[in-house]
Amino acid sequence: MGIPVKPLQTLEAQRLHAAESSGGTSSDVIYDRIVEVIEEYDLRGRVLDYGAGIGNLTRRLWALGRFEQIAGADILPRPEDLPSAIPWHCLDLNHGDVVPAASFDAVIAAEVIEHLENPREVARELYRILKPGGTLVLSTPNNESIRSLVALLIRGHYVAFDDSCYPAHITALLRKDLVRILGEAGFSGVRFQYTNFGGVPKMPMVSWQRVSFGLLKGCRFSDNVIATAVK
């Protein structure tokens, strides 16, 4: 008599599990920096929180009072306490052609692309749903920080892509990758900004900014990078 084999999860179930394992949210440090970028670029009109998770950033965008409409999209169900005026697209972000084309003036994709299987398809989808002249604000783990490069040298992988981050984080990207991917999708004017908050190797709760009294900033000393681009 053979040993019973546990059936494999469906792809949809695997993706939902990955989304749930991430907690559906990111840090306030990242959200604070994204809000600063939004204000710096004076983004207005209709905005989509792409990969909204449990809606923490969506609520912050709503509280800004600067957008004509705010919508969320995620594989997770609509958060129950989200304001009723916020539309919600419940969908697998690995699939395109669901959100109407050219329907948003800005798309915010905070800590999303590293969760998805095909970054080039994601970039094409983000381009498709933006209006001409629309702005993309995308953040992802910064794999060029000192902490991440040390992890790569010692452990053979970037710090945000170790076993404790799997299966949530599956796609590691560098700035050069983002420039190529966004450019291939049709975006222009790719620029990078940083959270200016980064953990010291082996002591992630101690930041470079704390030990340097705020002097150490930028690419090598930030755990997350923000890319902006225009359709």
CATH number of the CATH domain containing 38: 3.40.50.150
The answer to the question of residue 6 being in a domain is no
Q: For the residues 72-80, what does the mean pLDDT come to?
A: 94
Report the C-alpha gap between 141 and 139 in whole angstroms.
7
Q: Please, are residues 173 and 140 in contact by the beta-carbon 8 Å criterion?
A: yes
The answer to the question of residue 113 being in a domain is yes
The answer to the question of residue 3 being in a domain is no
The answer to the question of residue 202 being in a domain is yes
Whole-number pLDDT of residue 94: 87
pLDDT tens readout for residues 101-134: 999 999 999 999 999 999 999 999 999 999 999 9
Query: Is pLDDT larger for residue 181 or for residue 23?
Result: 181
What's the N-to-C CA distance of the chain in angstroms? 61
Q: Which residue has the tokens 């983000």?
A: 126
The SS3 assignment for 17 reads helix
Q: What is the CA radius of gyration of the chain?
A: 18
pLDDT tens readout for residues 138-184: 999 999 999 999 999 999 999 999 998 998 999 999 999 999 999 99
Does residue 35 surpass a pLDDT of 70?
yes
* Local confidence band at 1 (pLDDT 50, 70, 90 cut-offs): very low
The answer to the question of residue 177 being in a domain is yes
The answer to the question of residue 160 being in a domain is yes
Query: Is pLDDT larger for residue 204 or for residue 187?
Result: 187
Residue 76 lies in domain? 11-230
Whole-number pLDDT of residue 17: 59
Q: Please, are residues 146 and 220 in contact by the beta-carbon 8 Å criterion?
A: yes
Whole-number pLDDT of residue 8: 47
| Close Cβ partners of 76 (under 8 Å, ≥ 6 residues apart) | 16, 19, 20, 24, 53, 54, 90
Q: The whole model's pTM is what?
A: 0.89
Report the C-alpha gap between 224 and 221 in whole angstroms.
9
The answer to the question of residue 130 being in a domain is yes
Count the alpha carbons within 13 Å of 137 in the hemisphere toward its beta carbon.
27
Whole-number pLDDT of residue 117: 94
The answer to the question of residue 4 being in a domain is no
Considering the chain, what percentage of its residues have pLDDT values greater than 90? 82
Total domain count, the chain:
1
Q: Considering only CA atoms, which of 196, 147, 148 is closest in space to residue 173?
A: 148
